[in-house]
């Protein structure tokens, strides 16, 4: 026996075989060495009532996301207790983002647990994840191994294994593959029906049976398989050599797109439900997961269509933010998909950008519309070889008292050589989809005040419509009403331009274009909107209305029921009804209807309706001399317009505010506001209104007895209206000439004093050191709160302003509450208030008189080294509202040599610049003669800075802290580092700085922060942050 063993181990052949056996044993993967598990079909495994309930919820929940979530909770709970069926379904729901978020690692874990207990489908899912590298590295041998185990009883795995055999991805014969597919077909497996039908009709098999293949595909379609329908349409289009496209069985096929979209609709129900329950971000996360699962076996297009529908007509119609985010998300997904397939091209989805632009308008993202316009521009340039720059530039120039000559504009409305479209179509009109995107450009220009660009782009659209009609609609677009929609969009934009310019008859002609077309269905929304806008303009311009109350009520219901119309549509009709009621003399009913609109227009999506209603109420209040709400309404209007970026509204709002102040007898304020209105008109070229604005100025200067300026502005109005070639609305021309005729006896040779010369965009002026009015309230104490953090060893200092912005002298009592050492008027007419902790807490009052249009300063100081002290100032005017302001200070813990030592909280009015004084200190050791500052606003704002003696230090037109933007001025920069230097007084260790701030567009929360930094040896240091609160 021993000799035999010795012989075996000494024999070289035997020894090599043993060695190879052990090597193979060591390198064989663990999954291949594992003991085979007896698999069983999932549906044959006994399960509890809980699992049966969860399975029913899952199978019935394809259109009900709530059922998915309940099913997932039940499955996961049972899976963690070891139930194999629950383990499979939990993994399946993690893998497909059903009832939970996509988590492939969790899916693998639960599938593995179920497979270890012999669940056949679990092996099939593990195989699927291995072939795609989901959560684990791609491993085809292991995937095929698991798939063969699953295919013992799972029909879906039979189908998959057969496909791999036919594709040559694993060993096997065609006969074996067909046997597997036939077993799956017998079980009505949709994938097997589709695949076997495709193999027989495409010539993939060695002995195909096309008739049998067509029957299999038709049977799959009857059971709801969309891919089988795609394959039948492939045959219908003649894509198979085995089946003629005239085959009788494939002549009456349903739409493949509709089938796919119906399935996609079910898929996005769950992300929408998540959005409604948990918010936009959670909804988008679930949508991302759902798309990733959908794209494993479907095309993007049906899913895209359903997301589009959701954004346009379903949940997005009620929530503009959700709609905007859906379009934004969808645009990025489609762009990525397109660039993956076309890496060297520029993506241009005109229809998508058109809708994205509409949602940017609905959500007040006017600035974002500029980015959308740039995408359209780049897409046209790259794909169509069309440069969208309007030529010649002279036709678009600002300051011309006439409308641009549209025939001068170079238009390109045909296919260009080298474009992404077929060269055979060169010279034919562009596709409608491209023109749909072009509408983005005039819309963006319109709301940002560039109305000449709007008219230029709409002329392109009109030229395209003419070209389409000449070539024949069927050659250019898929549906005839698309041409009409382009024409209607251009008409709406043109009408708005003409309305803003005062060309009311031209605007009414444009609104008549969609009305006269009498379109129905989807396009009827244009007709209904045009009727609404037309009757409102007729009433506002004192013309006979084309509607009555009964027809407007019917129109309201039509717009409310139209799912393609905006959610503000019924409110727009309500505004027309209110105007009609007022026209008929029912003023109280009209006001109540207007109040109803304001009560309803509270959501973000309805901000445009709210703007219209507030504007209408302010105009009526001025006309009726009932101004109780006008000021509040105008402030709300300005805040809304600025926060949304609607620059086009500001000229009229300042003009209405000027009229309000004039009606209250404050002519000086009215004149200042009117000058600002004129400057805004000039900045966005609303030239048609300037003659009337100048005439009003002349009227107000006449009321204060300034005859020289009366004549000056009469001459300006006369010069504008009589300029050769000037185009003005007929009613403005007549009104101007009538009023000039009334003043024809004035002296035509008077000259304007130099003091009245104004810079463009100069803010309203008062008698303050820097010239800015700080509030519409007659008496204004600012800031509301002032904090002083002096340099160590230095006294605490503060500076309040007390402004009388009315023309009349105002009497009031100024009370100070704190540890007051003395409180008195100074020789310069200002006030000095000193604090000292050694004094008792007391109240001190001064009875003072404030001259009209004058700003007074209240200096506060407290000795160095004392504990923090509080001071409260209270104004009690004879007429008006009591105001309070507080002063606090404490010592700095830093050993700074130089610093800005104040921070302030102020109440602001968006019509006026806010004025705030800061004090600068330097230590005894400091040799600095000035302080280098960097001052920035948290959102765009104009910042002007003046020294203590009133000298201009800088103007930062956009508040970005740099001086590279148009309108920026840097006067004091002694070290030439691009930052302003504020000088210290030669005989003092302190100095003052006045900042004047006017926001360009208000933040959503109404808060504007001004950050003040000073430069030290260690770099830039934050010294102060002012906060200005603009109330609604």
In the structure, what pLDDT confidence band is assigned to residue 910 with cuts at 50, 70 and 90?
Answer: confident
CB-based contact 767:663 (threshold 8 Å)? no
**Mean pLDDT throughout 115-123?**
94
Q: For residue 76, name the pLDDT band (cuts at 50, 70, 90).
A: very high
Please state the domain extents for the chain.
2-31, 42-258, 267-335, 346-474+485-499, 633-756, 779-1030
Alpha-carbon gap, residue 458 to 491, rounded angstroms: 8
The answer to whether 978 and 932 have CB atoms below 8 angstroms apart is no
The third-level CATH classification (topology) of the domain covering 779-1030 is Immunoglobulin-like (2.60.40)
pLDDT category of residue 3 using cuts at 50, 70 and 90: very low
Element (H, E) at 471: helix 451-471
Per residue in 818-837, pLDDT (tens digit) is 888 889 998 888 899 998 87
Pick the range with the lowest mean pLDDT from 185-199, 436-450, 660-674: 436-450
Strand 930-937 with 981-983, pairing: antiparallel
- Are 133 and 142 in contact by the 8 Å Cβ rule? The answer is no
Higher local confidence (pLDDT), 917 or 984:
917
* pLDDT average, residue stretch 314-328: 84
Please report which confidence band the pLDDT of residue 498 belongs to, taking 50, 70 and 90 as the band edges.
very high
Q: How confident is the model at residue 480 (pLDDT cuts 50, 70, 90)?
A: low
Would the pTM of this model clear 0.85, i.e. be above it? no
Greater confidence (776 vs 223) lies with 223
Q: What are phi and psi of 505, to 5 degrees?
A: -65, -40
What band does 544 get if pLDDT is binned at 50, 70 and 90? very high
Q: What is the pLDDT of residue 863?
A: 87
Which residues contact residue 764 at a Cβ distance below 8 angstroms, ignoring those fewer than 6 apart? 669, 672, 673, 675, 676, 772, 773, 912, 913
Please give the biggest Cα pair distance in the chain.
144
- For the segment 495-504, the average pLDDT, to the nearest whole number, is 94
Instruction: Look over the chain and give the mean of its residue pLDDT values, rounded to a whole number.
Output: 84
Q: Is the pLDDT of residue 939 over 90?
A: no
The pLDDT > 90 percentage for the chain reads 36
Q: What's the rounded mean pLDDT across residues 92-104?
A: 90
According to the model, what pLDDT value does residue 763 have? 31
pLDDT at 576 over 90: yes
Long-range contacts from 191-194, C-beta under 8 angstroms, 24+ separation: 191/156, 191/159, 191/160, 191/225, 192/155, 192/158, 192/159, 192/162, 193/217, 193/219, 193/220, 193/223, 193/225, 193/228, 194/220, 194/225, 194/227, 194/228, 194/231
Q: Which residues contact 801 (CB under 8 A, 6 or more apart)?
A: 768, 774, 780, 781, 782, 855, 856, 857, 858, 915, 916, 917
Place 353 in a pLDDT band, splitting at 50, 70 and 90: confident
The continuous run of DSSP H or E covering 906 comes out as strand 902-908
Are 231 and 260 spatial neighbours (Cβ–Cβ below 8 Å)?
no
Measured between alpha carbons, how far is 233 from 251 in angstroms, rounded to an integer?
Answer: 9
pLDDT at position 985, please?
Answer: 79
Half-sphere exposure of 354 toward its Cβ, with a 13 Å CA cutoff? 16
pLDDT band at 477 (very low <50, low <70, confident <90, very high): low
For residue 36, the 8-state DSSP code is P
Question: What pLDDT score was predicted for residue 63?
Answer: 47
pLDDT tens for 854-885 read 889 999 998 887 776 788 989 988 766 788 99
Per-residue pLDDT reduced to its tens digit, 407-462: 677 777 887 887 777 666 777 788 777 788 888 889 888 888 889 989 989 988 88
**pLDDT per residue over 325-349, tens digit each?**
999 999 999 888 888 888 878 888 8
pLDDT of residue 750: 41
Q: Please compute the mean of the pLDDT values over residues 758-770 and round it to a whole number.
A: 32
More confident: 64 or 442 = 442
- CB-CB contact of 579 with 543 (8 Å): no
CA distance 930 to 536: 59
Identify which of 361-370, 479-488, 731-740 has the greatest average pLDDT: 731-740
Alpha carbon distance 271, 917 (integer Å): 53
Please, what is the Cα angle at 983 between 977 and 988, to 5 degrees?
A: 150
**Residue 598: pLDDT band with limits 50, 70, 90:** very high
Indicate if the pLDDT at residue 895 is higher than 80: no
Work out the average pLDDT over 720-736. Answer: 91
List all residues 6 or more positions away from 466 whose beta carbon is below 8 Å from its beta carbon.
none
Neighbour count for residue 222 (Cβ, 10 Å): 10
Q: At what angle do helices 120-132 and 84-95 cross, to 10 degrees?
A: 30
User: 932, 1015 in Cβ contact below 8 A?
Assistant: yes
Instruction: Report the pLDDT value the prediction gives residue 674, as an integer from 0 to 100.
Output: 94
Check whether 1003 has a pLDDT greater than 70. no
Write the class of the CATH domain 42-258.
mainly alpha
Question: Of 462, 506, 900, 555, which is closest to residue 729 (Cα–Cα)?
Answer: 506
Whether 42-258 and 779-1030 share one fold: the answer is: no
CA distances from 435 to 331, 429, 470, 524 (A): 18, 10, 17, 20
* Confidence band of 691 (pLDDT split at 50, 70, 90): very high
In this prediction, residue 886 has a pLDDT band, given cuts at 50, 70 and 90, of very high
The predicted model gives 163-170 an average pLDDT of 91
Q: How far is CA 331 from CA 275, 355, 369, 533, in A?
A: 19, 10, 14, 31
pLDDT at 571 over 90: yes
Structure-token pair, residue 498: 């003409």
pLDDT value, residue 293: 87
Q: What is the pLDDT of residue 653?
A: 94
Average pLDDT over residues 748-767: 36
Ranges of beta strands (E only) in 748-840 are 779-782, 785-788, 796-804, 810-825, 831-835
pLDDT 10s digits, 948-974: 888 889 999 889 999 988 778 898 888
Q: Is the pLDDT of residue 666 over 60?
A: yes
What pLDDT, on the 0 to 100 scale, is given for residue 748? 47
The answer, yes or no, to whether the previous bond of 34 is cis (omega within 30 of 0) is no
3-state helix, strand, coil in the chain (%, to 5): 55, 15, 30
Residue 150: what pLDDT? 93
Q: What is the CATH number of domain 633-756?
A: 1.25.40.10
Q: What is the mean pLDDT of residues 596-609?
A: 88
């Amino acid at each position: 026996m021993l000799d035999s063993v010795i012989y075996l181990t000494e024999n070289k052949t035997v020894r090599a075989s043993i060695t190879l056996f052990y090597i193979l044993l060591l390198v064989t993967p663990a999954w291949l060495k594992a003991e085979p598990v007896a698999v069983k079909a999932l549906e044959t495994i006994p399960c509890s009532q809980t699992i049966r309930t969860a399975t029913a919820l899952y199978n019935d929940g394809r259109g009900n996301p709530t059922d998915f979530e309940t099913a997932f909770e039940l499955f996961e709970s049972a899976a963690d207790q070891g139930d194999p069926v629950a383990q499979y379904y939990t993994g399946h729901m993690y893998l497909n983002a059903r009832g939970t978020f996509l988590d492939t690692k969790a899916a693998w874990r639960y599938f593995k647990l179920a497979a270890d207990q012999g669940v056949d489908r679990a092996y099939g899912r593990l195989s699927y994840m291995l072939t795609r590298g989901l959560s684990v590295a791609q491993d085809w041998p292991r995937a095929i191994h698991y798939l063969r185990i699953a295919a013992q009883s799972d029909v879906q795995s039979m189908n998959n294994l057969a496909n791999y055999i036919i594709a040559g991805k694993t060993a096997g014969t065609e006969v074996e593959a067909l046997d597997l597919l036939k077993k799956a077909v017998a079980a009505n497996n949709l994938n097997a029906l589709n695949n076997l039908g495709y193999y027989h009709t495409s010539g993939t098999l060695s002995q195909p049976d096309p008739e049998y293949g067509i029957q299999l595909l038709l049977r799959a379609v009857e059971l709801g398989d969309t891919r089988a329908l795609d394959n039948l349409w492939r045959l219908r289009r003649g894509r198979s050599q085995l089946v003629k496209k005239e085959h009788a069985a494939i002549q009456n096929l349903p739409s493949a797109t509709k089938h796919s979209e119906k399935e996609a609709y079910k898929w996005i129900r769950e992300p929408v439900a998540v959005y409604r329950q948990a918010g936009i971000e959670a909804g988008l996360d679930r949508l991302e997961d759902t798309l990733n699962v959908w794209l494993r076996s479907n095309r993007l297009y049906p899913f895209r269509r359903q997301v589009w529908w959701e954004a346009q007509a379903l949940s997005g119609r009620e929530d503009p933010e959700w709609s905007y985010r859906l379009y934004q998300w969808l645009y990025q997904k489609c762009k990525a998909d397109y660039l993956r397939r076309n890496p060297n091209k520029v993506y241009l989805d005109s229809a998508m950008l058109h809708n994205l632009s509409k949602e940017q308008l609905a959500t007040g993202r006017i600035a974002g519309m500029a980015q959308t316009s740039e995408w359209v521009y780049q897409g046209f340039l790259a794909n169509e070889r069309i440069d969208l720059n309007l030529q010649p530039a002279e036709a678009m120039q600002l300051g011309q008292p006439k409308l641009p000559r549209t025939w001068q504009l170079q238009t390109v409305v045909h296919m260009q050589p080298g474009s992404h479209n077929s060269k055979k179509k060169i010279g034919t009109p562009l596709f409608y989809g491209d023109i749909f995107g072009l509408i983005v450009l005039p819309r963006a220009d319109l709301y940002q005040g560039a109305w000449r660009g709007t008219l230029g782009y709409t002329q392109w659209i009109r030229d395209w419509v003419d070209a389409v009609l000449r070539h024949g609609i069927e050659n250019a677009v898929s549906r005839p009403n698309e041409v009409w929609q382009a024409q209607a969009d251009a008409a709406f934009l043109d009408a708005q331009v003409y309305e803003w310019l005062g060309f009311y008859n031209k605007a009414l002609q444009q609104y008549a274009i969609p009305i006269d077309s009498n379109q129905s269905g989807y396009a009827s929304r244009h007709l209904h909107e045009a009727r609404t806008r037309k009757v409102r303009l007729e009433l506002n311009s004192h013309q006979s209305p084309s509607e009555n109350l009964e027809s407007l009520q019917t129109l309201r219901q039509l717009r409310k029921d139209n799912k393609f119309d905006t959610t503000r549509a019924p409110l727009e009709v309500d505004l027309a009804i209110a105007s009609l009621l007022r026209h008929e003399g029912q003023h109280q009913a009209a006001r109540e209807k207007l109040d109803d609109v304001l009560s309803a227009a509270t959501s973000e999506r309805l901000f445009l309706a709210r703007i219209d209603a507030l504007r209408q109420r302010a105009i009526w209040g001025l006309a009726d001399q009932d101004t109780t709400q006008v000021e509040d309404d105008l402030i709300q209007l300005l805040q809304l317009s600025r926060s949304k970026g609607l620059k086009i509204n500001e000229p009229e709002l300042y003009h209405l505010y000027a009229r309000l102040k004039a009606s209250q007898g404050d002519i000086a304020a009215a004149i200042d506001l009117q000058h600002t209105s004129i400057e805004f008109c000039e900045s966005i070229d609303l030239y048609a209104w300037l003659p009337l604005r100048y005439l009003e100025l002349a009227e107000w200067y006449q009321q204060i007895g300034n005859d020289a300026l009366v004549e000056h502005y009469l001459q300006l109005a006369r010069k504008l209206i009589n300029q050769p070639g000037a185009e003005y609305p007929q009613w403005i021309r007549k009104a101007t000439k009538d009023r000039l005729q009334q003043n024809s006896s004035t002296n035509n040779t008077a000259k304007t004093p130099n003091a009245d010369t104004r810079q463009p965009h100069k803010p309203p002026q008062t008698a303050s050191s820097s010239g800015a009015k700080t509030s519409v309230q007659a008496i204004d104490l600012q800031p509301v709160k002032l904090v002083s953090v002096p340099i160590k060893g230095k006294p605490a200092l503060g500076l309040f302003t007390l402004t009388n912005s009315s023309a009349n002298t105002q009497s009031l009592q100024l009370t100070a509450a704190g540890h007051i050492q003395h409180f008195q008027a100074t020789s310069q007419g200002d006030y000095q208030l000193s604090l000292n902790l050694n004094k008792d807490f007391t109240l001190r009052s001064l009875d003072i008189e404030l001259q009209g249009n004058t700003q007074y300063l209240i200096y506060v100081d407290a000795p160095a080294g004392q504990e923090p002290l509080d001071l409260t100032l209270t104004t009690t005017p004879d007429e008006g509202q009591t105001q309070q302001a507080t002063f606090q200070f404490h010592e700095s813990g830093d050993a700074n040599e130089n610093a800005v030592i104040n921070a302030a909280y102020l109440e602001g009015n968006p019509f006026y610049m806010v004025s705030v004084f800061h004090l600068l200190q330097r230590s005894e050791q400091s040799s600095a003669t000035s302080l280098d500052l960097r001052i920035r606003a948290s959102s765009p704002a104009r910042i002007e800075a003046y020294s203590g003696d009133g000298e201009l230090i800088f103007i930062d037109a956009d508040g970005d802290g740099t001086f590279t933007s148009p309108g920026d001025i840097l006067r004091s920069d002694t070290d030439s580092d691009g930052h302003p230097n504020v000088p210290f007084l030669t005989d003092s260790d302190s100095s003052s700085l006045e900042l004047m701030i006017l926001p360009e567009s208000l933040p959503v929360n109404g808060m504007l922060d001004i950050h003040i930094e000073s430069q030290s040896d260690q770099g830039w240091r934050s010294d102060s942050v002012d906060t200005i609160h603009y109330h609604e």
